Structure 1
């Protein structure tokens, strides 16, 4: 079968030996050399044909790309024609790469333009995934390692492909190499005109946001390649892999095969809608792809800025999944400080387990610090974490269903990894804490309220109200109340002088402290719910609080770039530490009650003598500010988390 190239031919198919179209009389041989065999693709500005080169003795197959603007493209015809010529010239250089089809010829004939290219014999990835099923992590890594150098090559020649998708990646049959095709001006011109008219064609599922409005950049291709990867992993339409309710990708919910943490992070970064948050070059993606697995760093405190750092390689050994329900419900409100809010970290009192929120806000990871392995992953959005004082329970408050009304608190048995209980809490909290006997859970966050729950029965026992509400800022997480429970009278709590007292929580001995964005700190009697005192003095939101082991000293860190030290019983302000250049996000007190550790927007942890207010040490290492600090009960292990998510584990020298 020979195909007529006349735009207006009504019956373009002809017998294989025909030289003149039997319908319109046009010559079928292009430039006295190429016969079109069949139409294999068509868009708004061009057509693509499988063809044969009659000039060469072996009559090899090739591809003809014909500039073919439709009537609707009349206003862009002149510009489109020029871009077609320009692209043809560029492809003469690009075709020298072994994974890009060679440009064989460029022809202008009878007011028409034709680009002749090498034919790649093989299946495209859309056909491959349809026939063989979804890709696994190994095949995606191979794809990236194979194609990223190609993108690096074309970008170095100042060319943006603009239409990367599974159909335009062919696995060559002869050597199984991946070949990037369709550099023709048809797509380039179509997308240029497209963005001027606001129309969407062909590859909208894979187009980067900035490209959709006519501002494509080199890393727009990286976005499209990332979308291609998640489609191949899931076989789900990319439109369905993006949750407009949450304004984020949810491709992990549709995986057929597990994907390791490092690859997941790489794909997520390729898929960032914000161009500054995305990889800026193919080489940068390759560097991360070939890097060692992400490390949690162990450092020894020292006064010297040249503190030794030893990497501990952490590798996943098994995953523990909670089911997720894809929801198209109301979009979660964005927090003004997303990095801070998504850096929740919990260290077990024995220093053996570390729980932290993971990448893209919807993973909680549980690490075993003794074996240096990732033990479990929990798919929960906007999670807040705490580990019980007896090292038995991990408590996760977050959004299991990824909806604004899907708040849930999950309680897991740490030694076995089995679920214990699920509490149907009303909101995603700003913070969680648990009583020393591991029986009372406090959640702070909604409408200036603190909810108290009985862990044993799974029932809510009371609600403490008093902090101001912040509807304009955060409709769901409105007050951002941070809570801390401490044993105010250790001798009373630990009393075991009679049988009836054993195992019975001495709630009257417990103090609950809360801090809020209303710039106040409040102290409560945990048993009666009575407000004992209200501490004022901060001029900015109060992000963190800590109470000394003896219950006599309270410390608060604020957006006003200060740490305030209070006498708990009298409410007297003892001291203000104002040597910070940025907001103080986290404070903790050592188990012996002598040392205060503060993490702020500054890139260093600061260590203070709690009694004198003297700065005794500075721990460098985080490239960005410190969002969270936690310490084990024996004071031998401390964990810090940067605003960018980096984790450091510190041990005394």
Structure 2
């Protein structure tokens, strides 16, 4: 059996006659990862190239690896196209008996770097990260894949949105270690995972879907404590990790969810990602990093006519107001729009002067305060409007946006908030939120007043 040695690409040579290597950004047992630029794109788009090489040089194994590599590349392509939480696969190719994946370069910082730079995260921040990752794990598991290497180094907070992105799937690397057993059948010969974040069954070569949930739970504990398992106390009789003592103010229910995720026996954990997600959803919603503790004072932009499902209740709310309340509401809105015109170009507010009357009519359908399913925030009004149009095209006819002068987003600038729907009560918003989170896992219920 001949074992390959790894020879990094010549930086003067274009990989696949297209990709120029800029620098190495990581290496492992079966290859190396590079930052590269695509010379065939006008922008010279940067990308990440994973160079993978089989562990043994045997023709019968190479063909098996080739087939499996192509199959798993197709799955990565499908996953990346459906979510911005997984790097997109731009291309894959084979060259000089090595395999290459060309993936999206995620600008941002890993959770490890974040902890090193700012210290441990709050319970609310960790919960939001989990809620962002779990729907992705659900999709991955539905494809029959197990990530195998979830850890702080493999979760990047994308800049500038701050959304978590899951990188570095272990399945393709495991394929590179394929060998034949004594019966002549293909079998994995390597162990994928990281000590301290790897479940016991995975450590002996039998990963399960719940193994990924174990790794995610250990990642959450690292984010809360700033410590790895080696730095924490262990109950010598039960083997239980005594991490609570490092986060004295953690809520009991949140701690119980993490404790269940990291149970030693798989039968005692959450068996599926959606189970852990549902458990987190039962907890009180934390105030997102971008949302102030007090309701923001908002100025409402034009909004489409209410959809049939809630038009009646919203119109009834307005008609129930007394005449002086209606007059006051219209007056406040009129003054707000006039005042806003001083700070924002009029073309952003209205394309034609004749639309002002209909705009006020639409705005009058909104109560003085309301709850909304927040989708995203933008500094650029054109991007915010484009996002609103995208939501409408996807069936969210009540999608709207508003400018908030005291509502900072991740980049700490005032923002245009885009929402998918609005409601008169918090309970209505929370009832509709789980369904919408299938469309945008980061959505949450916000509150706004005029």
* Corresponding residue number in structure 1 for 2:134: 148
Matches within 5 A, 1:562-573: none
Q: C-alpha offsets along residues 618-649 of structure 1, whole Å, 9 cap, x if unaligned?
A: xxxxxxxxxxxxxxxxxxxxxxxxxxxxxxxx
Residues of 2 paired with 1:38 and 1:191: CA distance?
A: 25
Q: C-alpha offsets along residues 269-302 of structure 1, whole Å, 9 cap, x if unaligned?
A: 0001111110011111111111157xxxxxxxxx
Matches within 5 A, 1:633-644: none
The answer to whether structure 1 residue 66 and structure 2 residue 51 are counterparts is: yes
How far residue 49 of structure 1 moved from its aligned partner, in angstroms, is: 0.7
Q: C-alpha offsets along residues 74-117 of structure 1, whole Å, 9 cap, x if unaligned?
A: 99766555433322121111111111111100111222211111
Listed as ranges, the gaps of 5+ residues in structure 2 are 180-186, 285-450
Q: Do 2:149 and 2:192's aligned partners in 1 also have CA atoms closer than 8 Å? A: no
Residues of 2 paired with 1:181 and 1:269: CA distance?
A: 24
Q: Do 2:37 and 2:46's aligned partners in 1 also have CA atoms closer than 8 Å? A: yes
SS at 2:160's partner residue?
coil
Q: Do 1:41 and 1:47's aligned partners in 2 also have CA atoms closer than 8 Å? A: yes
* Corresponding residue number in structure 1 for 2:222: 231
Q: Do 2:6 and 2:31's aligned partners in 1 also have CA atoms closer than 8 Å? A: no
* Corresponding residue number in structure 2 for 1:88: 73
How far residue 239 of structure 1 moved from its aligned partner, in angstroms, is: 3.3
* Corresponding residue number in structure 2 for 1:119: 105
* Corresponding residue number in structure 1 for 2:271: 280
How far residue 211 of structure 1 moved from its aligned partner, in angstroms, is: 1.2
Q: Do 2:217 and 2:258's aligned partners in 1 also have CA atoms closer than 8 Å? A: yes
* Corresponding residue number in structure 2 for 1:57: 42
* Corresponding residue number in structure 2 for 1:136: 122
Q: CA 1:176–1:252 in structure 2 vs 1: closer, same or farther (change >3 Å)? A: same
Q: Do 1:163 and 1:207's aligned partners in 2 also have CA atoms closer than 8 Å? A: yes
* Corresponding residue number in structure 2 for 1:207: 198
The answer to whether structure 1 residue 166 and structure 2 residue 152 are counterparts is: yes
Residues of 1 paired with 2:32 and 2:200: CA distance?
A: 26
Q: Do 1:148 and 1:286's aligned partners in 2 also have CA atoms closer than 8 Å? A: yes
Q: C-alpha offsets along residues 492-512 of structure 1, whole Å, 9 cap, x if unaligned?
A: xxxxxxxxxxxxxxxxxxxxx
The answer to whether structure 1 residue 30 and structure 2 residue 15 are counterparts is: yes
Residues of 2 paired with 1:115 and 1:277: CA distance?
A: 37
* Corresponding residue number in structure 1 for 2:212: 221
Q: TM-score, normalised by structure 2?
A: 0.55
Residues of 2 paired with 1:237 and 1:109: CA distance?
A: 39
* Corresponding residue number in structure 2 for 1:8: 7
* Corresponding residue number in structure 1 for 2:312: none
Residues of 2 paired with 1:103 and 1:203: CA distance?
A: 24
Matches within 5 A, 1:421-500: none
Q: CA 1:242–1:283 in structure 2 vs 1: closer, same or farther (change >3 Å)? A: farther
Higher CA-based Rg: 1
- Higher relative CO (Cα under 8 Å, sequence separation at least 6) belongs to 2
How far residue 235 of structure 1 moved from its aligned partner, in angstroms, is: 1.7
* Corresponding residue number in structure 2 for 1:176: 162
Which structure features the higher share of strand residues? 1
* Corresponding residue number in structure 1 for 2:32: 47
Q: C-alpha offsets along residues 24-43 of structure 1, whole Å, 9 cap, x if unaligned?
A: xxxx1112211111111111
Q: CA 1:253–1:197 in structure 2 vs 1: closer, same or farther (change >3 Å)? A: farther
Residues of 2 paired with 1:220 and 1:81: CA distance?
A: 27
How far residue 197 of structure 1 moved from its aligned partner, in angstroms, is: 8.6
Q: Do 1:242 and 1:250's aligned partners in 2 also have CA atoms closer than 8 Å? A: yes
Q: C-alpha offsets along residues 184-234 of structure 1, whole Å, 9 cap, x if unaligned?
A: 6444337878xx799766612211111112221111110000011111111
Question: Segments of 4+ in structure 1 off by > 3 A?
Answer: 6-9, 69-83, 184-193, 196-202, 239-242
Q: CA 1:191–1:71 in structure 2 vs 1: closer, same or farther (change >3 Å)? A: closer
Q: CA 1:8–1:284 in structure 2 vs 1: closer, same or farther (change >3 Å)? A: closer
Q: CA 1:197–1:90 in structure 2 vs 1: closer, same or farther (change >3 Å)? A: closer
* Corresponding residue number in structure 1 for 2:241: 249
Listed as ranges, the gaps of 5+ residues in structure 1 are 1-5, 20-27, 294-653
Q: C-alpha offsets along residues 146-193 of structure 1, whole Å, 9 cap, x if unaligned?
A: 111111111122211111000110000031111011126444337878
Which structure features the higher share of helix residues? 2
RMSD (Å) for aligned C-alpha atoms: 2.9
